[in-house]
Amino acid sequence: MNLKEIFAKQFFRQPEFVVRAHGRVNLIGEHTDYNDGFVLPCAIDFYTDVALHRTDNTQVSVYAVDYDAFDEFDLRETISQSEKQWANYVRGVVWAFQHKGFDLKHGFQLAIHGNVPQGAGLSSSAALEVAIGKAIAQAFDLPINHADVAQIGQFAENEFVGCKCGIMDQLTSACGETDCAVLIDCRSLETQAIELPKNLSVMIVHSHVQRGLVGSEYNTRRQQCEMAAKHFGVEALRDVSLAEFDAGKAGLDAVAAKRARYIIQENQRTLDAAHALKNNDIKTLSRLMAESHIGMRDEFEITHPAVDVLVDLIGEIIGERGGVRMTGGGFGGCVVALLPHDLVDDVKAHLAQHYHAKTGLQEEVFVCTAHSGVAVL
Ligand code: GAF
């Protein structure tokens, strides 16, 4: 059954429309978004669909296909946290619209289905937030654009769900471009599409490391970056150059200094990588992605030994013909590689031979293409 049929079975009528928002993979620029810096992600094949029909009362009724579970709340009452984590993303986005002053006059029925792997660092939460946000904007004909939808999703995640994430995931899901990576300036929210070279595949490999303490470690990294920005008297680490950092770091907490140094360099690497990608300079891209991974491993300390093994194994096959690094928030999750199509099978075979043997874990490989942003189907 497709989502429209499932909606009809649950709510006894056809939905008015279905919205689709994709997950994302980040090629480079990790943890730079909340430092007002640059990121270079693309939206990927995995997505979340939301079907909606407005009602003439003030109830919101939600059916999550993948959990076979319901949630219900009333728009006239204060929206509170649910015990069901998936429901908090829906409630959070509705709450965020209300908080931003949008008067949602009528209730609505929603059915949700998604295939973004969860806990893999491929933005299943952002895809859900952006799909819900776009569906509400469409249903109530709200005068907001895709970047606004992304910001509402981020606000919901920051203030309702409680993860102090940056804007990258929601903005990529909202504003992705077919066959392109998107260079995002996370301060101005300007985006620039950069076509991916036609001879390269985007390979994502899930390490299947169980991610623990992600939220608290993530928020700690953010606090350390903010502490460093405060030390330099700037709004965000985006405003500090490497020379200024080296000249002025005395007196800054040693761990915060290590984190900040990574961010300042990662920001520059992201701009350089965008330039390299535009010029089809894969050798430079390869070096920048390798340096990014080492920075995440040794300075920002967000990788995991099994993820490091994965990156090394892939690197052994692709060499300078492609790039590979961990992608996303970290502490497990996925690795991203940009590599010539003809090396995909060799990498798969190499991983099958060595990854489990070295880590006891089983890798999962996805070869993706870059997709466009959120849309009504
Ligand atoms: C998570 C966050 F949600 C993003 O905002 C970003 O900070 C990313 O981790 C790390 O680059 O996906």
pLDDT tens column, 32-77:
999 999 999 999 999 999 999 999 999 999 999 999 999 999 999 9
Residue of 78, 48, 75 whose CA lies nearest to 61: 75
33 is in an annotated binding site: yes
CATH code for the domain defined by 3-192: 3.30.230.10
The vertex-18 CA angle with 17 and 22, nearest 5°, equals 155
> Of the residues 103, 169, 308, 342, which is catalytic?
169
- Backbone dihedral region of 189: left (phi > 0), alpha (psi from -120 to 50 degrees) or beta? left
pLDDT at residue 227 tops 60:
yes
pLDDT confidence tier of residue 1, bands split at 50, 70 and 90 = confident
Farthest-apart Cα atoms in the chain, separation: 67
pLDDT at residue 322 tops 90:
yes
- Which residues make beta-bridge pairs with 74? 59
Task: Report the pLDDT value the prediction gives residue 212, as an integer from 0 to 100.
Answer: 58
Q: Output the CA 111–ligand 1 centroid distance in Å.
A: 27
Nearest ligand 1 atom to alpha carbon 26: 11
* pLDDT tens profile 150-179: 999 999 999 999 888 999 999 999 999 999
188 is in an annotated binding site: no
120 is in an annotated binding site: yes
Classify 194 as helix, strand or coil. Answer: strand
Q: Output the CA 161–ligand 1 centroid distance in Å.
A: 15
Complex confidence, ipTM: 0.99
For the segment 179-199, the average pLDDT, to the nearest whole number, is 97
In the residue annotation, 169 being an active-site residue is answered as: yes
Q: Which of 24, 28, 31 to mutate to test the pocket of ligand 1 (most atoms within 8 A of CB)?
A: 31
Measured CA to CA, the distance from residue 130 to residue 96 in angstroms comes to 12
pLDDT confidence tier of residue 217, bands split at 50, 70 and 90 = confident
pLDDT at residue 213 tops 80:
no
